[in-house]
Amino acid sequence: MTTDILMQRAKSLKLTGLVAHWDEVRDNSWVNQLLQWEEDERSKSTLATRLKSSRVGRFKPLTDFDWNWPKKIDRQAIEEFMNLSFMNEAINIILCGPNGVGKSMIAKNIAYQAIIYGQTAMFTTAGQMLGDLTTQDGDLALKRKLKFYTTPKLLIIDEVGYLSYSNRYADLLFEIISRRYHQKSTIITTNKPFTEWRDIFPNATCVVSLIDRLVHRSEIINIEAESYRLKEAVEETAKRKASREKKIKPAKNSEINGAQS
């Protein structure tokens, strides 16, 4: 690698001390290693910051998902989402299905993948986001918060349909979707089909427009399954029971042997 390229790397890292003494150190073999260490550490720090800002939190890797459990799921489409090509076209993803079937887990895996590849992403529930927006004091504060949710390249709005909302909430959700329309991708997880969204926003006049704008450039994935969380809970209960029984049997055997002696 030429010293000119090395110096450009040092300048981009803003290592002013190194640049100031460049003629003294330029031919040393350790310069390239030093720059590589600095770039790697800054990359790790930037990734950590993006992950923290994303609010993705803990989640199960998609590789651990039991694809045989759902009665209906488009595995090919979901695995294709992981290459993030949908973001290049500002396509939305709608994950529909009952509680506990993996919608949030899938959304978080996609968000994490986006962050790993240098994109910005944010995970929020519908209740958190809309509650946050409605508590803003004044127009200027609301504009800033709307920008906050509009800015990420990928926005995940989880649990749409778990609560009912007033007209004000519906208008704010419509505003977020409209600002991101044709520009940035949004992932929605919901336990209700669109025909029942009137129940989520019972008195809102913008529901039809909201749905129309949301689904216009979307891929809709319907998941049919029993609760995966319930399945895991039953399996864990069975494991713990088996473990307890193994501990009890040796104890009983030792008591019998002691009585016989």
Q: Which of 13, 24, 106 is nearest to 59 (CA)?
A: 106
Helix or strand holding residue 104 (H, E): helix 103-116
Task: Give the model's pLDDT for residue 260.
Answer: 59
CA 236 remoteness from chain centre: 26
* pLDDT tens digits, one per residue of 57-104: 988 999 999 999 999 999 999 999 999 999 999 999 999 999 889 999
Tell whether the torsion through CA atoms of 55, 59, 62 and 63 is positive or negative.
positive
Tell whether the torsion through CA atoms of 79, 80, 85 and 89 is positive or negative.
negative
Task: Give the model's pLDDT for residue 255.
Answer: 58
pTM of the entire structure? 0.76
CATH superfamily of domain region 62-222: P-loop containing nucleotide triphosphate hydrolases (3.40.50.300)
pLDDT range class, residue 254, cuts 50, 70, 90 = low
For the chain, the structural domain boundaries read: 62-222, 227-261
On the question of pLDDT at 258 being above 70, the answer is no
On the question of pLDDT at 10 being above 60, the answer is yes
* pLDDT tens digits, one per residue of 118-168: 899 999 999 999 999 999 999 999 999 999 999 999 999 999 988 888 888
Average pLDDT, the chain: 88
